[in-house]
C-alpha cells in the first residue's frame, strides 16, 4: 500500500491486491488519512484481486467520513472479483465508481458551465 499521491489538489490512493479482514484496518486508515474538509480523493482499485465484506465495509466507513467533511471520493479501476463484490453487495450504487483513472479525474475536476461567451461576458455585463 502506498501513501496518498497528489495530482493537482486530488489525492490518489492505490489499494493493495487484497482488501480483506487482514488488511481492511490499514486500508481504512490510509483512506481516512487523505480526507480533509472539501478534499477530492480517488481510490484506485486497479491492483485489487480480492475484496471481502470487510474491505467493502472499510470503503463504506470512509465514504461516510468523507460525507461528514464534505469531501468527494471516486473509486476507480476495479475489475474482476473486486468489481463483482461491489456489484453483488449493492455498494456500487452508493459509491461513485469510475471505470478508469481518467474518468475519475474528470468527475472531480471543476466543470465550467455555459458557453465561452457566457463565461467571458455574463448577462447584464457591459463592456
What local confidence, expressed as pLDDT, does residue 95 receive?
84
Q: On the CB side of 59, how many CA atoms lie within 13 Å of its CA?
A: 33
Q: From first to last of the 127 residues of the chain, give the pLDDT tens digit.
A: 555 555 558 999 999 999 999 999 999 999 999 999 999 999 999 999 999 999 999 999 999 999 999 999 999 999 998 888 888 888 777 888 999 999 999 999 875 555 555 555 555 555 5
The model's pTM is: 0.78
**By CB neighbour count within 10 A (0-12 exposed, 13-18 middle, 19+ buried), where does 3 fall?**
exposed
Amino acid at each position: 500500500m502506498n501513501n496518498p499521491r497528489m495530482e493537482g489538489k486530488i489525492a490518489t490512493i492505490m489499494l493493495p491486491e487484497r482488501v480483506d479482514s487482514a488488511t481492511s484496518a490499514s486500508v481504512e486508515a490510509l483512506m481516512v488519512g487523505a480526507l480533509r474538509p472539501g478534499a477530492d480523493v480517488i481510490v484506485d482499485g486497479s491492483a485489487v484481486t480480492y475484496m471481502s465484506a470487510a474491505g467493502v465495509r472499510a470503503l463504506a466507513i470512509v465514504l461516510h467520513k468523507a460525507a461528514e467533511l464534505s469531501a468527494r471520493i471516486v473509486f476507480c479501476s476495479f475489475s474482476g472479483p473486486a468489481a463483482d463484490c461491489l456489484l453483488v453487495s449493492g455498494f456500487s450504487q452508493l459509491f461513485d465508481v469510475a471505470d478508469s483513472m481518467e474518468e475519475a479525474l474528470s468527475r472531480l475536476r471543476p466543470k465550467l458551465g455555459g458557453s465561452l461567451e457566457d463565461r467571458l461576458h455574463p448577462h447584464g455585463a457591459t463592456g
